[in-house]
Structure 1
Amino acid sequence: MLRRHFNRTCLSPHDLAICERVFDQVCADEHLDPLDQAAEILTVMVVAIFRNAHTSERELLEAVKSHRKKAAGRRVA
């Protein structure tokens, strides 16, 4: 149990690489400057979703894109 909790609070180099690839892909797809404040918010989102059990790169990318689409829809409405 302790090991499982530890794995969700500390990201391994492998975990960070997954998050970074997803971040880079979303930035490229949405034409975001990786140094912009919007990208900083994206970083927090990617890590939060990753920690919420989306540990495969494909799942994480889909979850982040879905979350961003929902958030964009709420801003427009």
Structure 2
Amino acid sequence: MFGFAWQSVFLGPEDLAMCQRIFDQVRADANWERSAVESEELAASVLLAFQHGFTDEAALLAEIRSQRDRLWQRTG
């Protein structure tokens, strides 16, 4: 179907809260004021990384920060 294995189809309340913290932190890192579409891309990146196994908060934050410049170059 998707061509890859999901870490988890279901994200519990704690998982969603962690993903929200990561999203908020990455936006705050650069005082990011982006459009709704760009925010959706960032949120999707956070969720996708989580589902691909970055379930530790520090590891997820590091992964998203490493993707941040590529995301902003594409959307900026």
Alignment TM-score, normalising by the size of structure 1: 0.75
* Aligned residues: CA RMSD: 2.6
How much identity, in percent, do the aligned residues show?
A: 34
Greater fraction helix: 1
Q: Partners of 1:32 and 1:73 in 2: how far apart?
A: 10
- The count of residues paired between Structure 1 and Structure 2 equals 70
Partner of 1:32: 32
The structure, 1 or 2, with the larger RCO (C-alpha pairs under 8 Å, 6+ apart) is: 2
SS in 1 for 2:28: helix
The Cα of 1:25 is off from its aligned counterpart by 0.2
Alignment TM-score, normalising by the size of structure 2: 0.76
The Cα of 1:26 is off from its aligned counterpart by 0.5
Q: 2:56 is matched by which residue type in structure 1?
A: S
Q: Partners of 1:73 and 1:22 in 2: how far apart?
A: 16
Task: Specify whether residues 52 and 24 from structure 1 end up closer, same or farther in structure 2 by C-alpha distance, changes over 3 A only.
Answer: same
For structure 2, the residue ranges without an aligned partner over 5 or more in a row are none
For structure 1, the residue ranges without an aligned partner over 5 or more in a row are none
